[in-house]
Chain A
Amino acid sequence: MRYPLPIVIAFATFLADPALGQKHPHFDDGGALAWHTTFAAAKAAATKADRLIFVEYGRAA
């Protein structure tokens, strides 16, 4: 199966850094952390990168 180039590039970029996440959904942390919004994704990324999980349990200000 052949995939469009942008999908191939995006997939490669995503997989290249296991710690790759998103911005925090509620505030700008200045790029301090790669954020995930599901426990499963955070565990997978933390396991892959051998890092702690930092939980911020709150709501939008």
Chain B
Amino acid sequence: MQRVLPAANVKARIGGEAIGLAADCDNPEESVTAIMTAGLPDASMLPFVAFLTPAGEWICGASGYQDERALLALLDQASKSPLLLATPAVRKALEKPAAAVAVALPKSDWKVILQAARDAARSTGRCTERTTIAAAEKQARTWAAGELDAIARAAAAGDDVAALRKRLAAVKAPFAGEPEAADVDAGLKALQKLAFVREVEADGNPAKDLRPRSAEPFKGTRWATVFDKPTTAPAGK
């Protein structure tokens, strides 16, 4: 697998269609062994590979070395499996949240959309209702990411911290319990530190490394950029 998975034609597809489960055959989970044994009863040559539904149901698999063509054939077979389709009961359960999303989306009512996404995550199976909800959820998260980026840029440009804190709170409210809310918390800490930096700078003679040192805990996030030296004087603290 270490030679086949990185191949460009395999890598281009498999990562977008599957999640990997690395099962150690010397220390396997019983449930995984049971699935593999049932799916490949005569298999003897490692590795055993398989594609399962998101719920863990067997679709197809093979044992021994699989070249790129064989692995992609398995992926094709798995992707077309009827087991991936939602049952009528699941579709029925998703009708209401999908309808709520259709009403909420034009109003950018992210809270309703995220609740529908949480409802949808309780079941599996592909259907138009789930697609509708997923598309709206993507829009919600894109909006939040854009807003957080804009807030970070505004802070770096010297905008008033108090006003930016309010904008962060407006992002957090509909995204409570979502990763974006944790990102808002990080942003609030960054803005708090930025206000301190501006105060020190306003008092004159700040340490040369004050801004880079303040940015350090936020390295790798959008919030590190708020400590970039503004090209114009800050509008407020």
Residue ranges of A at the interface with B (Cβ–Cβ < 8 Å): 5-6, 8-9, 11-16, 19, 21, 24-39, 42-43, 45-59, 61
Contact = CB atoms under 8 A, between A and B. Distances in A.
Nearest to B54: A46
Interface of B: 1-2, 5-6, 10-11, 14-26, 28-29, 31-32, 35-36, 46-56, 59, 61, 75, 78-79, 84, 121, 124, 126, 130, 134, 178-180, 182-183, 185-186, 189, 217-218, 220-221
A39 B46 contact: no
A24 B84 CA distance: 25
B182 A42 contact: no
Given A12-B186, A32-B11, A55-B32, 4 more contacts: A9-B221, A16-B183, A53-B53, A54-B18
A25 B20 CA distance: 11
Contacts of A61: 2
Contact of A21 (B19, B29, B130): B19
A12 B220 CA distance: 12
Q: In terms of DSSP, what is the predominant structure of the interface of chain A?
A: mixed
